[in-house]
Amino acid sequence: MAFIDYYKILGIDKNTTDAEIKKAYRKLARKYHPDLNPNDKEAEQKFKEINEANEVLSHPENRKKYDQYGADWKHSEEFEKSRQHQQSRSTNQQGGFDGFSGSGNYSDFFESMFGGRSTGGRSRTARSKGGDFNAELHLDLKDVYTTHKRELTINGKKIRLTIPAGVENGQVIKISGMGGEGLHDGPKGDLYITFTIENRTKFKLEKQNLYSNVDLDLYSSILGGEITVDTFDGKVKLKVMPGTQNGTKVKLKGKGFPMYKKEGVFGDLYITYQIVIPKNISEKEKELFEKLAKLKTT
């Protein structure tokens, strides 16, 4: 089995932190993504290598195994079991078993152990699951307000993905069988997609509740009336009570964001009124305000 230097693929070294690994992966994944390099076989292969390297190095346990066993990191558990078995037998055998201090290397040992050869003439094969792949999907907040389908290209393969309404920023979903090829007819690995949700709307989102500020003119705040306000999926009319104060909050039930995988269930929308004081009033308006002021003092 040829050794693949995952650190070299990502352009980092063994002292690189987890955060730096993630940063390096994102940078290279964007650069070599098939959508940005159509019909470029070299970029496609590079993209596969980058995902494979990230799958190993971004998981602490996998990284530890890789640092210790190199190309054969996937079989570290089988190796440890075999080594313990050999060591227990060595007490009854001359010379014993001393790991890899003699000729050969890890790959030679694993090839004889799992590749169909053995010194005793018996044949053994072990099925091993393929490595997992990781990908990121960038969406706008408006995209995840409703359930919709989207076609993605992952490692040169097109995947039609149903994205449920209400998926959250940083949420990870798993697609079984879309990872790396297994060893000796073993099952394929899985694909993990991390969602990055960007909010370019005027609404603030907390859990499933939305928040927004609405300007209210002075006259409506004093006299009351009816105004039209924006919600996430359209406009609604709202009654304003006379004497509404600056900072007054109003809840619109069920006008928030959808809850993940809960059909028809929504959070609430909270509106905060901000009273707008008129500027550049006319002489007539000024005269009327002065009369009102006198009325309040009498």
- Structure tokens belonging to residue 110: 């694993």
Cα–Cα distance between 119 and 97 in angstroms, integer?
14
Cα–Cα distance between 109 and 115 in angstroms, integer?
9
Residue 24 CB coordination number (10 Å): 20
Residue 57 CB coordination number (10 Å): 24
User: CA-CA-CA-CA torsion for 139, 144, 147, 149, nearest 10 degrees?
Assistant: -10
Strands 209-217 and 204-206: antiparallel
Over residues 71-88, the pLDDT tens digits come to 666 766 666 665 555 555
User: CA-CA-CA-CA torsion for 155, 157, 160, 165, nearest 10 degrees?
Assistant: 0
Per-residue pLDDT at 85: 53
Kindly state the average pLDDT of the residues 272-280.
Answer: 90
Per-residue pLDDT at 3: 60
Kindly state the average pLDDT of the residues 28-33.
Answer: 87
Per-residue pLDDT at 1: 41
Kindly state the average pLDDT of the residues 174-179.
Answer: 85
Q: Backbone phi, then psi, for 32, in 5-degree steps?
A: -105, 10
Per-residue pLDDT at 108: 47
Q: Backbone phi, then psi, for 279, in 5-degree steps?
A: -115, 160
Q: What is the mean pLDDT of the chain?
A: 80
**Are 133 and 189 within 8 A, CB to CB?**
yes
Over residues 182-225, the pLDDT tens digits come to 887 788 888 888 899 999 999 999 989 999 999 999 989 989 99
Over residues 231-251, the pLDDT tens digits come to 999 999 999 999 999 999 999
